[in-house]
Amino acid sequence: MNNTMEKYARSEKHHWWHRARRHIIFTLLSRYAPQNHGKVLDVGCGPGTTMSYLKKFGQVIGIDISSDAVKFCRDSGHKYTMCASAEKLPIKDEEFSLITMLDVLEHIEDDMQVLHELARICKPNGIILLTVPAYRFLWGDIDEICKHKRRYTASELCARLRAAGLHIERVSYMNALLLPVTWLSRRWKAMTGKNKPLKSPFEKKYPAWLSHILESLFKLEASFLKTWDLPFGVSIICVVRKQEYE
């Protein structure tokens, strides 16, 4: 299992999609979240790659439902990591100033319970940043392999967040330029690959030049997203704030 976590960690560090997504996430976080302030929680921390980048925002704690992921994090130096479900977080109320949950919500049956938990443990005026996959029509191998429960539209995600009592600062689609390519490739696979074994796109080997092009196209959106929202894309990114009590 450690070998699986090592492969996952390498993918998070080096795959063009993870690198570009991380660039966009931290571009937005630098705008909305104060650095070196309070406690930071990464929900669904996996092998701990994101935790390394979150350190400038405060003391980072990671949570994952996988005991293998937690062990890998601790062995990698992330000692403040615990094994727990996002639906029932072993954390007291209003503990964290910043919470990230990156492509986790879609894995969980009761997503509203998770959002209520995030609201509970977030400090007043604290920030929560989430990413989720977009559009049911983009359902493909990656959703089957990762056992996703759903993909979202921006309006669906916003409705859930508001129902959990959170104020939406920003919501945007991302990875817009590659949406047509993604849709075509998944439709082609659906038509031609029905009898082929499922394989994650993160396992696919890309030539260096193609990885560079794909990463650069995705990263282009970071500057745009500093000011504007994108009306469509493969994923959704959302920044919400827990409002202070009146």
Domains and CATH numbers, the chain: 2-241 (3.40.50.150)
Is residue 100 classed as helix, strand or coil in its secondary structure? strand
Q: Single out the residue of 186, 202, 155 nearest to residue 21, CA to CA.
A: 202
Task: Please indicate, yes or no, whether the overall pTM of this predicted structure exceeds 0.85.
Answer: yes
- Tell me: pLDDT of 3 over 90: no
Measure Cα distances from 202 to 30, 118, 132, 206 in Å. Answer: 27, 28, 17, 10
154: tokens are 């921006």
pLDDT per residue over 75-114, tens digit each?
999 999 999 999 999 999 999 999 999 999 999 999 999 9
**How much is the pLDDT for 186?**
87
Tens of pLDDT, residues 154-206: 999 999 999 999 999 999 999 999 999 899 988 887 787 665 655 566 666 77
Q: Position 6: which residue type?
A: E
- The pLDDT tens digits of the residues spanning 46-55 come to 999 999 999 9
Rounded-to-integer distance, Cα 23 and Cα 70, Å: 24
For residue range 101-155, list pLDDT tens digits in order: 999 999 999 999 999 999 999 999 999 999 999 999 999 888 998 899 999 999 9
